[in-house]
Every structure is written in C-alpha cells, then in structure tokens.
Structure 1
Amino acid sequence: MGNTQLSKLTPVLLQSYVNDLVEDGLASGTIKKLNNILKSALDHAVNMELLPSNPIVKVQLPKITKKEMKVWQMEEMNQFLQVAIKHRFYPAFHLALTTGMRRGEILGLRWKDVDLEKGILYVHQTLSGDGKYFLNGAKTEAGVRSIKLANESILILKKQKRLLAKEKLACGRAYSDYDLVVCTSIGTPVNPNNLKKTYHKLIKEAAVPLIRFHDLRHTHATLLLSQGVHVKVISERLGHSNIKTTMDIYSHILPNMQEDAANKIDILLTNTK
C-alpha cells in the first residue's frame, strides 16, 4: 500500500490487503501484528487531523487458530502438473512445487538470478501482493537464498527462456523487458490474482483437492521430509530464519519419520546377527 495516498485508504482497500496476507499463508498472529502497526500509524494520522477517522477499525481479521495444513500427495502433485503443463503459468506452478518458493518470489524471479549451467537460482527480488511493484530481498533476511534446481526444472526453464525470446522478438518495441522468468506475453509482471484464478481453474480440471497456492510450498517440504531429506536442507530451501521454524511447522510429519527410523534400526540389528 506504499503507493496509496493516505486520504484514499478505505476499509475495502485495507480488507483486501488483509485478505491477500491470508492468501499468502501468513499466520493469523502475524497478520494481527501487522494490523496493529497500521492501526497505530493511522491513529496518529487521525490525531494530526490528516484523516477524519481510522478506516482500519472496520477491517475483520482472521481468527487466531492454527490451520490444519493441506498438502498434495505425490500422485496428486503429478496429476496437477500433467494438466498445468499446457498453460503459460506452468513454470510458476512447477517452481512452487519443486523449490518451495513463495508466490511473490516466483513472480519476481529474474533471469539474471538464474544460473542454468550450475542449476541454481537466487532469490533476490519479490513481487508485491498487488503486483504493482518489486521489493528487493525476500520476506526475511534468510529468504535471500540460493536453491538448487532439479534437472527437470532446468529443462523447463530453458524452454521458458526460448519462448520469451520469441515473444520479445515478435512484440518489438511494445515489449516491456523486466527480465522476468514468469511474465505476460508482453513482458510485464503477472498479476497475482490472475495466477490465483488460473491455479483454481487447473485444480478443478485436474480433479485434485483444493489447496492454497502457498500450500504448494508446504507440499514441497512434506514430500522432501517423507523422502528422508535432512530438515536443515529443507529449512535452507524454504528460506526459514532457523531450523526451529521448520521443525515447528512440520512437526506433524516427524512421528512417522521416527517410526521409519526405528524400523531401519531393527533392520540394521537383524543384519548384524
């Protein structure tokens, strides 16, 4: 909302902002803290007679409850990708599921931050929730990170780069070159709401359970955990500030991993007899 004039802040606009935070997967407690900061700032604006009243007092916040995490199983993920592969935004969905990147990180990713030879991408820029401006860095300091790409991801990105080169050539001067990996046919940033609409449409077509776009990030993490990937590696891929954050979020998966560990110990002991 940084580009919005103070006098044009309305309850509808602020409610839309809160709704976007919910869609982005922020915890209800975090949203409440952000709301308190805004309320304090706007209260001061009222005291300075810059506003007749505080528009944020009419905004409804999400209830502070711990949501049950919804993720796809491997079969559901592959089913969705098979349907989504025909769509322009396929690279965005693929990256969400194979790297755990946030929506804004994917839509802000530039080619200069992708090393296809080494198979590594770097998160250095994000697109705002309304799709109107870019932010340097990431959600947290740890969010500025490097992520190793799967071979399939490298192939998809190479194909995407060829497609965008053709579109840029066809558009000529009409092309707006933001150096984006995921963009419109004229090079401009993809509106997050348009990505969301496409995502929901493809979910129905693929006949898989409805989960938020942010839950693709959770799907990535839970699938890696189920494959025995170390939690520290997953924490680094997700850009968490510390491993404890990752452990707290995905603690529901750990009991199954404990059982698997116990079974492997039994196998080892059996083989030594």
Structure 2
Amino acid sequence: MKGHIRERSPGKWAIIVDLPDAGGKRRRKWHSFAGTKRQAQEECARIITAIRHGGYTEPTKTTVAAYLDRWLDHEKSAVSPKTLERYAEIAQKNIVPLIGDVLLSKLKTERIDAAWTSALASGRRDGKGGLAPRTVHHMRRVLIKALSQAVVWDMLPKNPATASKPPKVERKEMRAYEAGTTAELLDAVRDTRIFVPVLLAVMCGLRRGEIVALRWRNVDLVNCRLAVVETAEQIKSVVRLKETKSGLSRVVSLSSTVVEELKAYRARQAEEQLKLGIRPDDRSFVVSQIDGAPLQPRSLTHEWTRILAKTKLERIRFHDLRHSHATQMLAAGVHPKIAQERLGHSTIAITLDLYSHVMPGMQADAAEQVDAAIRRAVKPAS
C-alpha cells in the first residue's frame, strides 16, 4: 500500500494514496489536508493504516443536506408517517441551515458542537433568539440516527454526532388542575363542543389521539367502561388511525357521572346527525364533526386553547388534563399499578417517574397508616 503527500500551497497539501480495485489494478485517491508537513505525513499514514485494516471510507462530494434527503427517503418504510414528518421537519428546517453545506466526509464532532451552540443562541427561524435546549436535544438525536445509517452504508468510518455534547434539558414542572378546578372547568365548557373531549381527558385520562379515534362501539354504557383500541395522528391535513402509543388496547372504567354525561351527549349527537340525514351507528365517532367525520387532533387543541382563554382558569395544555386525572388519582390513594393500567403506560416505572411529585404525600400517609396499625397491635401494658 503506497501513499505520498504533495504541497499545493503554503499549509495546503494533497494526500495521494493507491487503492486496489476489483480487478487487482491500482487507482489513486486524492485527499485535501490543511496543516504542517508533519501533520500531513501523519494523516497519510493514518489513511494507509485504515485501508489495510478495513476502516477506510472514500471521501465523496455528498453534502449533509443531500445525505439527509437520501436518509429520509430510506426511513419512509421504517417509521410511521408521523415520525417521518417529524424527522423531516427537524432535519430540513433545523439541521440543514446549520451544517447542510458541509461535505458529509468532512463533518467532525467539533463542527456539530458548534452547530448546537449556534442553535441555542440564535437558531429560531424567525430570528428572535435561540431554540429551546429540548429542541436541540431532538436535533442531536435525529442527526445521530441519520449518521448511524451513513456508517452502515460505509459513507462514514464512525458517527461524529455520537460524541457531540448534548444540551442540558431541565425537566418542566408538570401542570395539572386540582379537583376543585376540574369541577370549575367542566362547568365552564359544558355548553361547548369540547365538553366531551375534556370530560374524557380529565375524568378518564385519555390522550388527545385516543379521544379523536374513539367510536361508540368501544363504549359500553351498560357496564360502565370503554375500550381504547386505536389512536389518531394528524399529518398535515390528513387524519390517520393507528394502534395505541403502547401498542396495547386497554379498558377504562367509567364513573357514574361520566356515564350519565355520555348518555345525554349521545342522544344529542344522534339528533343533530339525523337532521342532516346521517344515521349514526356503532361505527360512528364519539367526538366528531357535525357531519360525523372524524375530528382533526390539531383542531381539538386549537378549540381548547380558544375556549380556555375565555375563562379565568390557569392556561394549561390539553394534554395536561390527562396529567390532572393521574395526579388526582394518585393523590386520592389509588395504587400506581391501577393508575398505570388506566393511563395506558407500558410500564409502572413510567407512571412513577412522571408523577413522582405526588409520591411524597402518599409515602407520608403510608408511614402514618403503618404506624397506626402497629400501635393497635401492641397490647397495652398490664
């Protein structure tokens, strides 16, 4: 294996190595290098060693932007449409403006770290400051995943994003309504079209997508329960039904209040649809547009934000209604395992991690109950 260096201009070198091809002949590959003569010689030796031991990757003119387009096309058959949409948004709108013009073969960890620093300082597309650390964290995860495929395709010898420093992400304080505020909320939205979605979120712990995908055939008002068997996701203006987040269906028991509200709502909904010439059946969506068509998840969020702004209640996300239900359950002494099953978490560890802020009070109550039991068991001295 041969290689040598040639000076092009002061501090600029060409590293020329001989590569064997499939026919046994040799061809030359040129590498550009900036530095001292000794550094160029060391780089030449490193390349020759890599070739001999199978760790060499030929440099190409592919930019990071062009590679990410190729990677996204590859991911179409490997991830859900919603995940692909998120990957594309992060790659094309956040990563490409920072390092898209860099040659893939020249991408180094130092350059990636500089990109994260720039994103945190001034990464917003509207020019009004930097991106949130959590957003930059997502950017790093997507780039790591994308460049890992480049390693598999022998386009990179190793993944330079893996060694980049992730931004520190502080966990946001969970916001939730207490029982009294929940009662105020239900009264405030009772005469609006989001009453039932709010009811299912704050009284049953359903996710937004699960509410949108719920059909009447999955609601048993006689036995006071409903089955969550699918969820809805929105990609641009298209709503797609798929399996639940955990991949498992679950049964959620309904309180008498929720059952009565759903009975009255179903009657009103059927009356409205019959006036439009629509005959509702068990396949009908519980929460739908006036004509029975499925509601868009984003439309539900927008309507929630609009209506909540008209009240004096604390502004929280629609998803925080689910957190409110979980917090109220655990604060009332419901066992975390029951809460996990009701919320649809894949493991109880997720439930305990998300709602650990409720646990101190539960532990204090448990300690007092154990203490009281022991005191009752101790016979008074005679």
Shared topology, TM-score over 0.5?
A: yes
Give the letter aligned to residue 257 of structure 2. E
Quick one: distance in 2 between partners of 1:250 and 1:29?
25
Q: Give the CA deviation at 1:104.
A: 0.3
> Is 2:154 the partner of 1:75?
no
| Contact 2:90–2:139 under 8 Å retained in 1 | no
1:135 is matched with 241
Match among 137, 142, 146 for residue 251 of structure 2: 146
1:30–1:228 Cα change, 3 Å: farther
1:173–1:224 Cα change, 3 Å: closer
| Contact 2:239–2:296 under 8 Å retained in 1 | no
1:258 is matched with 363
Quick one: distance in 2 between partners of 1:214 and 1:133?
18
1:112 is matched with 217
| Contact 1:99–1:220 under 8 Å retained in 2 | yes
1:176–1:154 Cα change, 3 Å: closer
Q: Give the CA deviation at 1:266.
A: 3.8
Q: Which has the higher contact order (CA 8 A, sep 6+)?
A: 1
Q: Give the CA deviation at 1:64.
A: 3.5
> Is 2:338 the partner of 1:233?
yes
| Contact 1:167–1:185 under 8 Å retained in 2 | yes
TM-score w.r.t. structure 1 length? 0.75
| Contact 1:222–1:250 under 8 Å retained in 2 | yes
2:125 is matched with none
Give the letter aligned to residue 135 of structure 1. L
Quick one: distance in 2 between partners of 1:163 and 1:193?
24
1:124 is matched with 229
Deviation larger for 262-271 or 173-182: 173-182
How many residues align? The count is 242
For residues 72-94 of structure 1, what are the alpha-carbon distances to aligned partners after superposition, in whole Å with 9 as ceiling and x for unaligned? 11111111111011101210000
| Contact 1:177–1:187 under 8 Å retained in 2 | no
Alignment of 1:202-221 (within 5 A): 202-221=307-326
Q: Give the CA deviation at 1:244.
A: 1.1
**Larger fraction in strand:** 2
Structure 1 runs (4+) greater than 4 angstroms displaced: 9-15, 27-34, 36-43, 173-178, 269-273
2:273 is matched with 168
Quick one: distance in 2 between partners of 1:235 and 1:78?
24
Gaps of 5+ in 2: 1-79, 95-133, 151-166
Give the letter aligned to residue 155 of structure 1. E
Deviation larger for 202-211 or 232-241: 202-211
Quick one: distance in 2 between partners of 1:268 and 1:245?
31
Give the letter aligned to residue 292 of structure 2. G
Match among 289, 300, 311 for residue 195 of structure 1: 300
Match among 327, 347, 353 for residue 242 of structure 1: 347
For residues 111-141 of structure 1, what are the alpha-carbon distances to aligned partners after superposition, in whole Å with 9 as ceiling and x for unaligned? 1111111111111121113462232320112
2:23 is matched with none
**Larger fraction in helix:** 1
Quick one: distance in 2 between partners of 1:219 and 1:113?
24
Query: Helix, strand or coil for the counterpart of 1:229?
Result: coil
CA RMSD of aligned residues (A): 3.6
Query: Helix, strand or coil for the counterpart of 1:206?
Result: coil
Quick one: distance in 2 between partners of 1:13 and 1:154?
47
Q: Give the CA deviation at 1:195.
A: 1.6
Quick one: distance in 2 between partners of 1:75 and 1:186?
35
1:34–1:148 Cα change, 3 Å: farther
Give the letter aligned to residue 77 of structure 1. T
1:109–1:41 Cα change, 3 Å: farther
- Percent pairwise identity: 32
Query: Helix, strand or coil for the counterpart of 1:129?
Result: strand
Gaps of 5+ in 1: 16-26, 44-61
TM-score w.r.t. structure 2 length? 0.55
| Contact 2:216–2:282 under 8 Å retained in 1 | no
1:194–1:33 Cα change, 3 Å: same
Quick one: distance in 2 between partners of 1:86 and 1:105?
22
